[in-house]
Structure 1
């Protein structure tokens, strides 16, 4: 994927001044070896701010302030942009943009183009903690049933779903798998996680069988020499995160399982681990978490079920 073309797409509709700053920031991000997804999200946040200020220039000028380039952005601009994001998208999206903009204006301060970031006194948008329902055995079985045929897409999609179900990996981690990341001798996958942190995770027997079947089918494809693990039905461009996201949604629609996405299997993995009495520290290692707040959040929607299992095991009130 071309970095220049990506940047041009992200910066569509911006003035030359905004584009120049984002181009230079992207050079810094690439020099810092930031993952492509992180670079994209950071640049998109800044570009969306720029487009918002350009599209609403007349209204902002009426209020006494317009921003011809990023160095003229003030606290009021950021607060207006965040309010617009909350109103038109969601509070969680506004929070993600806030974090990306923090990095952008921090860079401008480091470049000495600004004395102080306009976000210095802007509060992060408050978000409600949403309980994400797990994607358990019954629904997973329905989704896998849509992949029971022997064509290439069914075999590939079955392997992808089995990997999510068996490992609890992130969407970007599964999409980013390379052929060399599979070790069928140890039944493990090497995931390239957030923050450039690699980890090797074991997969179960059914996932191993699905992967083996896929590798045999893959070897007969025209793009078999590609280092990427997941090949397309046609052509040679590997399946992207977005491609997997679309595939999961379509499989869910066919299976009549609503809101199917990869993260629900991640929550299910955490729930099953806790239900079995697994160690929290080990769970953090397997799922690639650095913060001990994450185990409390994941699988929270099924916490009552776990509590009932513990209650039954302890036999409180039944021992006398």
Structure 2
């Protein structure tokens, strides 16, 4: 074990935990990428400090990833982890030169977010009309996903005190310890009310209440993995085929908001995006809708007008 290299990594991890307040899963991803880079650079260059690594050394690491047929998207993520790490080292004046500054990986065009159409979601919600506790929980949970655009981690970590049923608001504890408010509609309010008043106590049983909103059948916090599993099962049973993920409900929320005239800044705030550029990906999704409306409503495209 090399003390200088490991000390730099442990300082960065501490920064992500205590200052950036990143989730454990995100931190694990950074660690895995940086440990892989460290292992390669040590093995192939015998480096003892992060400062002794040059741009060419990082290029060789990336070249090795390409030779292993690692996808460009994954290569770009690993380079992004290195860039974040080296920015931390330079800002803390632990090193003088950032060897990753001039490096980029040109990935293919970014995939547009996948989302559900309104009839698909209506079909899913229609199958969740039962009065058993798990069905009531699932309806409340998926209604909340769709009408708020919350992340799966935010729904999993949601506690009772964060929901205001009088004002139809949720105080969301988002990424980077950033709080935001998001609203929900009357249908979601009704689903939440029914779940909280009639079903949640039955799931809790005799277990100690830790105040998480959504519980599994053993009265414990419903994890992100648990939510993903439930969604796959519920949506497939409702006739929505293929692989599904809670993030697609977030995308569906954003797409619906923009399609119905919401401005980009408002959607950015509701989603909790730090940068507007992240939200702008949804404008590409709604372009088709814009073009359809243009063809339909612009007068020179209207054959009746041409005949006059």
Say whether residues 1:78 and 2:58 are aligned partners: yes
| Candidates 248, 261, 268, aligned match of 1:264 | 248
Q: Is the Cα contact below 8 Å between 1:162 and 1:207 reproduced in 2?
A: yes
Shift of 1:137: 1.6
- The equivalent of 1:54 in structure 2 is 39
Shift of 1:117: 2.3
| Candidates 269, 288, 292, aligned match of 1:285 | 269
Q: Is the Cα contact below 8 Å between 1:25 and 1:107 reproduced in 2?
A: yes
Say whether residues 1:245 and 2:232 are aligned partners: no
Classify the secondary structure of the residue corresponding to 1:93. Answer: helix
Q: Is the Cα contact below 8 Å between 2:113 and 2:251 reproduced in 1?
A: yes
| Candidates 44, 59, 66, aligned match of 2:29 | 44
| Candidates 59, 80, 94, aligned match of 1:99 | 80
- Superposed CA RMSD: 3.1
Q: Is the Cα contact below 8 Å between 1:190 and 1:198 reproduced in 2?
A: yes
Say whether residues 1:133 and 2:117 are aligned partners: no
Give the whole-Å Cα distance in 1 for the aligned partners of 2:224 and 2:126: 22
- The equivalent of 1:108 in structure 2 is 89
TM-score (norm 1): 0.78
| Candidates 294, 305, 315, aligned match of 2:289 | 305
Shift of 1:116: 1.7
Classify the secondary structure of the residue corresponding to 2:100. Answer: coil
- The equivalent of 1:123 in structure 2 is 104
Shift of 1:233: 2.0
What per-residue deviation string (whole Å, max 9, x for no partner) do you get for residues 246-268 of structure 1? 33233334334223122322332
Classify the secondary structure of the residue corresponding to 2:195. Answer: helix
Classify the secondary structure of the residue corresponding to 2:280. Answer: helix
- The equivalent of 1:28 in structure 2 is 15
| Candidates 161, 186, 190, aligned match of 1:205 | 186
Classify the secondary structure of the residue corresponding to 1:264. Answer: helix
Shift of 1:165: 1.3
Give the whole-Å Cα distance in 2 for the aligned partners of 1:218 and 1:16: 51
**Which structure 2 residue ranges, 5 or more long, are not aligned?**
none
Say whether residues 1:180 and 2:166 are aligned partners: no
Shift of 1:218: 1.4
**Which structure 1 residue ranges, 5 or more long, are not aligned?**
1-14
Give the whole-Å Cα distance in 2 for the aligned partners of 1:299 and 1:260: 22
Shift of 1:83: 4.5
Q: Is the Cα contact below 8 Å between 2:120 and 2:240 reproduced in 1?
A: no
Shift of 1:195: 3.9
Classify the secondary structure of the residue corresponding to 1:227. Answer: coil
Moved more, 306-315 or 126-135: 306-315
- The equivalent of 1:3 in structure 2 is none
| Candidates 286, 292, 296, aligned match of 2:280 | 296
Shift of 1:181: 0.8
Classify the secondary structure of the residue corresponding to 1:158. Answer: helix
Report how many aligned residue pairs link the two structures: 298
